[in-house]
Structure 1
Amino acid sequence: MTTKEWAKTLRIKNPYYQGPATDHFDGTYFFNPGGIPPLGLPDLLRWQFGGGRIAWPKTVTSPFKPTKPARRVDGGDIRVTMVGHASLLVQVAGINILTDPVWSERVSPFSFAGPKRFVAPGIEFTDLPPIDLVLVTHNHYDHMDLATLKALDQAHKPQIVTPLGNDGLIRHAAPEARIAVLDWGQDISVAGIRVIAEPCHHWSARGTFDRRMALWSAFVLETPAGRIYHIGDTGFHDGINYRAVGEKYGGFRLALLPFGAYEPRWFMRGQHQNPEEAVEGMLLCGADYVAGHHWGTFQLTDEGIRQPVEALHAALDERNIARERFPPLSPGEVFEVPTSSP
């Protein structure tokens, strides 16, 4: 019995999105074509109770102090400031962009339990410049923080762009928010920047019974200063999506790529790439430079706090790629993306 037939048998209805079936939506559930679905509860319990998690320090201090960004960055410059995890401020062509913004202390449905922030945000919320555009790649709690989205809407009224099915969740917290909803391959123009939703290999859920009922995506930004490729979370998926965007767009000046939260591999490989795969993805998509994220802020998986950086440096060294081309950004760190190709 197919997933679609099973859903019909149980009369399951998607609470977030209703639309025609496509090559990545069966009428109820979204899926990765030819990909690995998320593992189920027995495997989750096997992982959680199997040991192997390396403890992080009780407190973590970034080597960079929280920064106060410039109001705007113009000309041909691209400036990236790390907030933490997958939250980055991208300043380009006079536009201020936030990716998967999270300022909450926990990434959890509960304020008193769940993964807790180990290091303070690299930008104080009140020090943010005017925010024009917010990209929300999917609805996991470490990427869609409704409290932060509500605060951003109240303070900045940005344009929010997110994949299918996520708008209702956001609107529950911010009823008046400006939200554009995209399927893979669709686009919108915001203040002279074209934003295109592209496939990545992941999944979605806010609870136990809504798995894969909202879409996940990467985003391509076409800006006057060059193309930018942002992925919040992804499994490597044999490099399929990296090759596709590389062929479609002809390379990128900058990619924002995750390289942490990947152990144990038997559980995570379908949904989270490791540092070696992130470096391979950089090459496949033709990125001149990468801002590395998704490490060192929330402990979501088994690896130690510094293991992703050590593995990333080893992978770059093995490929004879200068480490400066793929910095693993810490909260408060600013990456001035070079204007010339390496």
Structure 2
Amino acid sequence: MPIDMNPDYDPDKPHHRPQGFQNVHAEFTAKSLAEVLRWRWDASRRGLPPPPTQAIPTQIADIDFLHRNAAAAKQMLPSVTWIGHATVLVQLGGLTLLTDPIFSERASPFSFLGPKRHQPPGIAVGDLPRVDLVLTSHNHYDHLDEASVNALNRQPGGPPLFVVPLGLKAWLAGRGIRHAVELDWWQSHMLQAPGGDVEITLVPAQHWSARGLTDRMATLWGGFAVFAQDCHLFYAGDTGYSRDFTDMRTRFAHRQGHAQGGGFDMALIPIGSYEPRWFMAAQHVNAEEAVKIHRDLGAKRSLGVHWGTFELTDEPLDEPPRALAVQRGIQGVPDEEFFVVAIGETRVLKPR
């Protein structure tokens, strides 16, 4: 049954609607069934996506380091470890967090149907250090995976804190996950951590939400800005390109010292799932737009995510890093500023 009324509706907020939510700078309109069939027919006729020409890079994760780093608390070294797709293990401020954890074989409501992993997770869920915080950007199956959040909720030592957009706290509660905080765009939650207070802010993204046929736009979506004393992190979630990112730079300039070369120390920006553009541009950036986001934010470093794991769109799984390299050259961004890593690889960051 379609939703009758958005329980979080606030008429003073432009992204709130009586029956759900909407983007601010470019309203999302769902593609028609005819357009979906046109896309899938054309992809099938042309044999898309083509198979990768290169192996997706993987390496054995340094699990010992991650556990030692988690135990170091105040002496923790800021780091990012790519587990696959949009799942990144981040250590900062004495906390271990995960973005959009998915460890399942399929990004689907079904165990036998839907997009299947091409590479296993860089770290098995049972080998993770204790996770303190989970950031969920939206409710699509490749970002909110029921089996994964249930496993994390049962982890030894107690559940992590789940920080989610409006509407998803009830979904978690329905699965017995009650250690959760729900945020609207620009709302923040302060979390006490060994390295000092950590502020988590939900920020806009140009996207949409649905887990079925009748709940489109019923829950909010977004990205996250995480401010710890040793690292400022940005995670975009899923997004099309919009003015939201220059808005963020303006809003956060006072605390990041942009005039003095400040900005996010690490931005996690999607670089995959972008073809065909006529279908995907409103919801997923390509490499050109990903580099623009990096520049709009004034990020010191960016890691390209959301590629190489699930075959969701028409480009080959291994194409996004090549497209990123081209766009770095075109837009004058040094290689070391916006990079990719192997699945399982850890990159240690310089503390602020």
TM-score by length of 1: 0.90
Q: What is residue 109 of structure 2 aligned with on the other side?
A: 109
Q: Does the alignment pair 1:131 with 2:128?
A: no
Offset of 1:80 from its aligned partner? Answer: 0.2
Which digits, 9 at most, give the CA deviation of each residue in 1:161-190, with x for residues without a partner? Answer: 0000111222222x1430100001111112
Q: Does the alignment pair 1:243 with 2:250?
A: no
Judged with a 3 Å threshold, the aligned counterparts in structure 2 of structure 1 residues 58 and 259 are, in CA distance, closer, same or farther, namely closer
Q: Does the alignment pair 1:42 with 2:65?
A: no
The secondary structure found in structure 1 opposite 2:121 is coil
Q: Does the alignment pair 1:63 with 2:58?
A: yes
Q: Does the alignment pair 1:26 with 2:1?
A: no
The secondary structure found in structure 2 opposite 1:97 is strand
Q: Does the alignment pair 1:336 with 2:336?
A: no
Structure 1 residue runs without a partner (length 5+): 1-9
| Alpha-carbon separation, structure 2, partners of 1:169 and 1:11 | 16
Q: Which amino acid counterpart does residue 162 of structure 1 have in structure 2?
A: V
> Is contact 1:62-1:119 (8 Å) kept?
no
Offset of 1:200 from its aligned partner? Answer: 0.7
The secondary structure found in structure 2 opposite 1:252 is coil
Q: Which moved more, 1:285-294 or 1:320-329?
A: 320-329
Q: Which moved more, 1:246-255 or 1:212-221?
A: 246-255
Judged with a 3 Å threshold, the aligned counterparts in structure 2 of structure 1 residues 40 and 75 are, in CA distance, closer, same or farther, namely farther
> Is contact 1:66-1:124 (8 Å) kept?
no
> Is contact 2:231-2:351 (8 Å) kept?
no
> Is contact 2:241-2:293 (8 Å) kept?
yes
Which digits, 9 at most, give the CA deviation of each residue in 1:265-319, with x for residues without a partner? Answer: 0000000000111111101111000111000000000001221110000111223
Q: What is residue 185 of structure 1 aligned with on the other side?
A: 186
Q: What is residue 172 of structure 1 aligned with on the other side?
A: 174
Q: 1:271 aligns with which of 257, 263, 283?
A: 283
| Alpha-carbon separation, structure 2, partners of 1:322 and 1:134 | 31
Judged with a 3 Å threshold, the aligned counterparts in structure 2 of structure 1 residues 110 and 11 are, in CA distance, closer, same or farther, namely closer
Offset of 1:226 from its aligned partner? Answer: 2.9
Q: What is residue 218 of structure 1 aligned with on the other side?
A: 223
Q: Does the alignment pair 1:89 with 2:94?
A: no
Identity between Structure 1 and Structure 2 (%): 36
Judged with a 3 Å threshold, the aligned counterparts in structure 2 of structure 1 residues 60 and 113 are, in CA distance, closer, same or farther, namely farther
Judged with a 3 Å threshold, the aligned counterparts in structure 2 of structure 1 residues 303 and 36 are, in CA distance, closer, same or farther, namely farther
Q: Does the alignment pair 1:209 with 2:199?
A: no
| Alpha-carbon separation, structure 2, partners of 1:274 and 1:137 | 19
> Is contact 2:267-2:301 (8 Å) kept?
yes
Q: What is residue 77 of structure 1 aligned with on the other side?
A: 77
The secondary structure found in structure 2 opposite 1:46 is helix
| Alpha-carbon separation, structure 2, partners of 1:325 and 1:339 | 16
Offset of 1:137 from its aligned partner? Answer: 0.4
| Alpha-carbon separation, structure 2, partners of 1:11 and 1:259 | 33
Moved over 4 A (4+): 57-61, 73-76
Offset of 1:62 from its aligned partner? Answer: 3.7
Q: What is residue 4 of structure 1 aligned with on the other side?
A: none
Judged with a 3 Å threshold, the aligned counterparts in structure 2 of structure 1 residues 35 and 61 are, in CA distance, closer, same or farther, namely closer
Q: Which amino acid counterpart does residue 203 of structure 2 have in structure 1?
A: E
Q: Which amino acid counterpart does residue 252 of structure 1 have in structure 2?
A: F
Q: Which moved more, 1:37-46 or 1:97-106?
A: 37-46
| Alpha-carbon separation, structure 1, partners of 2:266 and 2:2 | 44
Q: 2:205 aligns with which of 200, 215, 224?
A: 200
Count of residues in Structure 1 that have an aligned counterpart in Structure 2 = 327
| Alpha-carbon separation, structure 2, partners of 1:317 and 1:57 | 23
Q: What is residue 6 of structure 1 aligned with on the other side?
A: none
> Is contact 2:80-2:90 (8 Å) kept?
yes
Q: Which moved more, 1:223-232 or 1:79-88?
A: 223-232
Offset of 1:39 from its aligned partner? Answer: 2.1
The secondary structure found in structure 2 opposite 1:50 is helix
Judged with a 3 Å threshold, the aligned counterparts in structure 2 of structure 1 residues 59 and 111 are, in CA distance, closer, same or farther, namely farther
Q: Which amino acid counterpart does residue 302 of structure 1 have in structure 2?
A: D
Q: Which amino acid counterpart does residue 34 of structure 2 have in structure 1?
A: P
Name the Cα RMSD after superposition: 2.1
The secondary structure found in structure 2 opposite 1:244 is helix
Q: Which moved more, 1:128-137 or 1:73-82?
A: 73-82
